Amino acid sequence: MALRNEEDNLVYEVHEIVVQRVGHVPVAKGDFTHLSKKVQRFVAHCVQQFKPRGIYICDGSQEEADEIIHKLLERGTLTRLTKYKNNYLCRTDPEDVARVESKTFICTQNKYDTVPHVREGVQGTLGRWMSPENMKKELDARFPSCMAGRMMYVIPFSMGPVGSPLSKIGVQVTDSNYVLLCMRIMTRVSPKVWEVLGDGDFVKCIHSMGCPRPVQRRVKNHWPCNPEKVLITHFPEERKIKSFGSGYGGNSLLGKKCFALRIASVIARDEGWMAEHMLIMSITTPKKKEYFVAAAFPSACGKTNLAMLNPGVPGYKIQCVGDDIAWMRFDDSGVLRGINPEAGFFGVAPGTNMKTNPNAMLTFQENSIFTNVAETADGGYYWEGLEDEVPKGIGITTWLGQPWHIGHGGKSAHPNSRFTAPASQCPIIHPKWEDPKGVPVCAIIFGGRRPTGVPLVIEAKSWAHGVMIGACVKSEATAAAEHTGKNIMHDPMAMRPFMGYNFGHYLQHWLDLEKPGRKMPKIFHVNWFRVDENGKFLWPGFGENIRVLDWILRRCDGDDSIWQDSPIGLLPKKGTINMSGLSDVREEDLFSLPTHYWLDDTRESRRFLEDQVGSDTPAIITQLLDQQEAAFQKLK
């Protein structure tokens, strides 16, 4: 329509604003026609099923984040932590505070593609399977109209640097804008993802808080969710994830555990690479030689602290590539190269302080989201472990909104409260952390919380022996883990909650990775948590762990003068770990191998594999355990 201005005869163009619609649903932001046909079909299908009030195609920009933050502040879902720049506190519904393993399923046509053949009468713990048909019934009882009255956000994201040959693309729809804010920290959300995707395939990620309007349940803390109906489902054959009812990180930030571990482990098996629950860190020694190692620990064993270690011995430099997930692939010259598929840290807050992890603390001074932590009266975050780092006597409001002070008793923050912070802000982030080629990994380190029997460090005798060691990873249960009644829990390869397929096949995949011409990384097992008869830690841990890493690196360099054989692997020869300046470390106790303990432990591990992995256990793993038992029998 053209208008004539009578005074000066200027012509103003007034354009009609055309609101795009998908069906009857308006596109509130973005251009639907710019999406590939495959993405359009996916989005249109979601719209038809979930009946949102609008579609918001995200671009990951700061302006977009500001707009959403503004909305969430107004609504009360977020509180500004005024002590910092752009830091926010979110309190969830107190019933939605953790990953829910019991509601997490993998659906494949063949059950044994997902779970191993467990011993008869045994409850499997390595993954939960449901048939796609039965799951469809469950999903049909949840998803139709689940976004009624809510906006549906469409998030294009890359796991790994955008465009890297090691990266993969996902598209997540969600009705939670908290999830959008966290996704843009934890993954790379950008319109460039659409370009790289072209007409290609992507992992379909569907998330709903499961709380359509009008709500059927009282909404607490402006956190609509549906704890009774939580379901986190994976369809590896279709490369699809559907998550319902929870907004908590591992359940809702689908790029992380669901995609980068469960779905990616299946893709990795099919394509011949590895998707692992591992940190990647670089260590530069006093001789200025740099090494990269990957390390797998069960949840809540200090993986983030190790990834950002502050060395207790001068002359070493640590740089962080990633703190939770590693995707690794052998390159053409046989070198294992790893990337961190994530873009942020989703770390456990309690216990993090300037002593345990100064680099994490410095990472989240701005642009970060804190979930279920407490708040100080001066607008700061607070959790257990920060007692010495806040003004004395300061008033605190707990994660549940109650007044509190240090010494009050009980906990101020939820034990599984988290910080979500951009990795780029980490003061020791490695300059190559986004290198599309990845970094060369020379060692893989397993570990767990093992109060008794397990030495500070063990080196595997071979790749297969290392796979056996990884298969036998166990750890003491902590407050952050779901309780099973047992104190030491098996967490093979630190992947128990994250396995995307039959664990026996996964072990075989690891074994098959060893091929002529490949430089297989050395495999180690570490234990920072051994205690003496009084329950006192035998090893100082934290920054002093650099001493163990140093021994590991000398072994990677082939130093043959520093090891001795043992039935469980190669151990450091006495005096070969640098203990200078450490008082009170009793090497004999740290490295002792009590015969009865190890006989029991070996049998228990074998029993675990027989029970849980059964006929899917690769024969070599059982043989190696048999050999270990026989060696201890001789020592009896």
Cis amide leading into 572 (omega within 30): no
d(CA 524, CA 205): 35
Rounded to 10 deg, the angle between the 595-612 and 619-635 helix axes is: 160
Query: 3-class secondary structure for 562-574?
Result: CEECCCCCEEECC
Query: Which residue spans within 349-483 are E strands per DSSP?
Result: 369-371, 374-376, 381-382, 396-397, 403-404, 418-422, 439-440, 443-447, 457-459, 474-476
Could you tell which of Mn ion, ligand OXD, none binds residue 345, using a CB distance below 5 to 8 A set by kind?
A: none
**Rounded least distance, CB 287 to ligand OXD, Å:** 33
**Rounded least distance, CB 313 to ligand OXD, Å:** 28
**Rounded least distance, CB 51 to ligand OXD, Å:** 32
Site string for ligand OXD, 343-382 (x = CB under 6 A): ---x------------------------------------
**Rounded least distance, CB 324 to ligand OXD, Å:** 5
All residues at 6 or more sequence positions from 478 whose CB lies less than 8 Å from its CB, including other chains: 300, 449
* Helix segments in 202-295, DSSP class H: 249-252, 264-271
Task: Report the chain's C-alpha Rg in angstroms.
Answer: 26
d(CA 232, CA 586): 46
> Which residue is closest to ligand OXD by CB?
299
Site for ligand OXD, residues 91 to 130, rule: CB under 6 A: none
Closest by CA to 396, choosing from 382, 384, 386, 409, is 382
Site for ligand OXD, residues 229 to 258, rule: CB under 6 A: 250
Q: If you ran DSSP here, which 8-state letter would residue 236 be given?
A: G
State the burial class of residue 189 (Cβ atoms within 10 Å of its Cβ: 0-12, 13-18, 19+).
buried
Query: Which residue spans within 360-501 are E strands per DSSP?
Result: 369-371, 374-376, 381-382, 396-397, 403-404, 418-422, 439-440, 443-447, 457-459, 474-476, 488-490
337 vs 418, beta carbon nearer ligand OXD = 418
22 vs 185, beta carbon nearer ligand OXD = 185
Could you tell which of ligand OXD, Mn ion, none binds residue 372, using a CB distance below 5 to 8 A set by kind?
A: none
101 vs 290, beta carbon nearer ligand OXD = 101
**Rounded least distance, CB 348 to Mn ion, Å:** 9
* Residue 240 structure tokens: 């699809």
Site for ligand OXD, residues 28 to 87, rule: CB under 6 A: none
* Residue 82 structure tokens: 């005024």
345 vs 404, beta carbon nearer ligand OXD = 345
Q: In the beta sheet, which residues pair with residue 154?
A: 57, 173
All residues at 6 or more sequence positions from 588 whose CB lies less than 8 Å from its CB, including other chains: none
Number of residues that bind ligand OXD (CB under 6 A): 4
299 vs 576, beta carbon nearer ligand OXD = 299
346 vs 529, beta carbon nearer ligand OXD = 346
445 vs 538, beta carbon nearer Mn ion = 445
d(CA 397, CA 94): 15
Closest by CA to 190, choosing from 341, 37, 57, 26, is 57
Could you tell which of ligand OXD, Mn ion, none binds residue 223, using a CB distance below 5 to 8 A set by kind?
A: none
The contact set with Mn ion (CB under 5 A) reads 324
Q: Does 299 bind ligand OXD (CB under 6 A)?
A: yes
Could you tell which of Mn ion, ligand OXD, none binds residue 601, using a CB distance below 5 to 8 A set by kind?
A: none
| Residue tagged active-site, from 301, 426, 442, 472 | 301
**Rounded least distance, CB 279 to Mn ion, Å:** 9
Could you tell which of ligand OXD, Mn ion, none binds residue 506, using a CB distance below 5 to 8 A set by kind?
A: none
Active site (annotated) includes residue 301: yes
Query: Which residue spans within 196-325 are E strands per DSSP?
Result: 203-208, 231-235, 240-244, 274-276, 278-284, 290-296, 317-322
**Rounded least distance, CB 261 to Mn ion, Å:** 8
* Helix segments in 438-515, DSSP class H: 463-471, 503-512
* Strand, helix or coil for residue 275: strand
Could you tell which of Mn ion, ligand OXD, none binds residue 250, using a CB distance below 5 to 8 A set by kind?
A: ligand OXD
Residue 192: phi and psi, rounded to 5, are: -60, -30
Could you tell which of Mn ion, ligand OXD, none binds residue 375, using a CB distance below 5 to 8 A set by kind?
A: none
Site string for ligand OXD, 255-294 (x = CB under 6 A): ----------------------------------------
Site string for ligand OXD, 538-577 (x = CB under 6 A): ----------------------------------------
Q: Does 434 bind ligand OXD (CB under 6 A)?
A: no
Site for ligand OXD, residues 314 to 333, rule: CB under 6 A: 324
**Rounded least distance, CB 278 to ligand OXD, Å:** 11
208 vs 251, beta carbon nearer ligand OXD = 251
> Which residue is closest to Mn ion by CB?
324
250 vs 543, beta carbon nearer ligand OXD = 250
**Rounded least distance, CB 178 to ligand OXD, Å:** 16
Annotated catalytic residues are: 301
Residues engaged in binding ligand OXD (CB under 6 A): 250, 299, 324, 346
